[in-house]
Amino acid sequence: MKPVGALRRLFAQAPEESLLQTGGDGELIIARARVGLTTALLVLAILSYLQTPESAQARIHLAGGLLAAPISLLMFLMIRRAHYRWWMGLTTTLFDVTMVSAALVAFLIADNPHAAVNSHMVFPLYFLALSATTIRLDHRACAVAGLTAVVQYVAIVLVALFFWDLNAPEYVLLTHGAFDPGSQLGRVLILGTAGWLGTLVNLRMQKPHILSAADSLTGMMNRRTFEDRWQGEVARARRYGRPISIAAIDIDYFKQFNDTYGHAAGDMALQSVGRVIRTRVRAGDFAARIGGEEFVVALPETNSVNAMTMAEQLRRAIAENPIRINGQRSAAGVTISIGVASWPEHGEEISRLLERADNRLYEAKLAGRDQVKGPGGAGSGHDSVRPQAVTRLKPV
C-alpha cells in the first residue's frame, strides 16, 4: 500500500504557487518550439506530398500537419494571453505525447505496421516531449507524460500485433527491421524510465527555486517573486485592456502584539495571517509577504467592486481567526488594514497601482485601522469599508 500511497501523493500534490510564474514562462517557450516544429513538419509533409501525391502515407502526414500546425499556433496564442494555471501544463503535455502517438498511428492507417513499431525517426520524439515537461516545473506533468507515452505506445504495438502478422513472409525485405518483442519491451521500459527520471529531476529542480522564491516564514511568495509576476500581469492587462486590482495589507498594531506576546507569537501571527490569505484568494490571484507585517494580493481580471468585496471578506476572516499562543490560556487576535487600487475604471496609471494601494493603506491607518480603503465613485476620490467597531488585540 505504501507505493500506492506515495503515487497518490505525487499526483495530488500541486506545484507551489511560487513556481507558477516560472512554469508559465517555460510553457510559453515550449509553445513557441511546438509551433516551429509542427510548421517545419508541415512543410516537409507538403514537399513529400508534392513528390508522391499518390502515396497514402504522404496524404496522411499532410493531413496530420494541417491539423497539428494550426492547433499549435492556437495553443501558443491562448497560453500567451491567458493566466497560467497548473492544468495547462498537464493538457499541453497530453497533447504533445498524443501527437507523437498519432504520427505512429498514421503508419498503421497507411498499412505500414513495421514503421509504427520500429520507427527510428518518430519514436524518439517521445523523448523530446518528455524532456520538455521539466521546463514547466510541475512534477505531475512529467509523470503524466511518461505514463501516457507508455500506455499509448503499448496500445499501438498491440494493435499492430492483432491486425498484422508482422513476421509474415511478405515482410522479408523490411525497411524498418523485423518485429522483435524484446526490442519493444525495451522501448516501453526506456519510455517509463525516462518519465520516472524526469519526474525526479523536476522535483529536485523545484526545491532550490521554492527556497529562493518563497518567504521562509509563511511559505508565500517573497517580494522579488511577486514583483516579477506582477509586472507580467500588468503588461498583460495593458495589452488586452483587462481590469486588474491590487490590495496592500498591513497587520494593525503588530509591534504592540510582539511586545505583549513575544516575537515567537508574532511569527505565529504572521503565519496565521498568511495562511488565511492563501486560502481566501481565488485561482488566478496571487499573494506575497513583502516584508515585516506587510502583505499584498494581486487580483487580475478583477474590477474595483469585486476587489473591494474580496478585501472586506479578507479583513473579516482575519479578524475572526483566533491565534493560539503557547503558554496563553486564551487565544489572541489581530486585525488588518487594506488599501485597494484598480485599473482602468478610475483612470489610475497602471504602473502606479501598487503605490496607490499603499497610499490608501496609509489612509486606512489614519482613519482608525481595521478597515478597507479603495476606489470609490466619480468625484469621491476614494471610498472605504469599515466595521462597526474597531477591535485591537482583543482576547478571543
Residue holding cell 501598487?
A: 354
Q: What does the pLDDT look like over 219-236, one tens digit per residue?
A: 888 888 888 888 888 888
CA 244 – CA 108 distance, rounded (Å): 51
DSSP H helical ranges for 82-138: 86-109, 113-118, 125-132
Q: What does the pLDDT look like over 26-76, one tens digit per residue?
A: 788 888 888 998 899 899 889 988 988 887 778 887 888 898 899 999 988
Q: What is the 3-state secondary structure (H, E, C) of 2-35?
A: HHHHHHHHHHHCCCCHHHHHHHHHHHHHHHHHHH
Residue 16: predicted pLDDT: 60
Domain 223-385, architecture per CATH = 2-Layer Sandwich (3.30)
Which residues of the chain are in CATH 3.30.70.270 domains? 223-385
pTM of the model: 0.58
Q: Based on the number of CB atoms within 10 Å of its own CB, is 293 exposed (0-12), middle (13-18) or buried (19 or more)?
A: buried
Q: What does the pLDDT look like over 386-395, one tens digit per residue?
A: 444 333 333 3
Q: Is the pLDDT of residue 198 over 80?
A: no
Residue 10 near residue 51 (C-beta atoms within 8 A) = no
**Percent of the chain predicted with pLDDT > 90:** 25
Residue 134: predicted pLDDT: 78
What average pLDDT score do residues 205-220 get?
70
Q: Is the pLDDT of residue 253 over 70?
A: yes
HSE-up (13 A, CA, CB side) for residue 21: 20
Q: Is the pLDDT of residue 383 over 70?
A: no
- Look up residue 301 and give its amino acid: E
Cis peptide before 3 (omega within 30 of 0): no
Which band of pLDDT confidence, cut at 50, 70 and 90, is reported for residue 9?
A: low
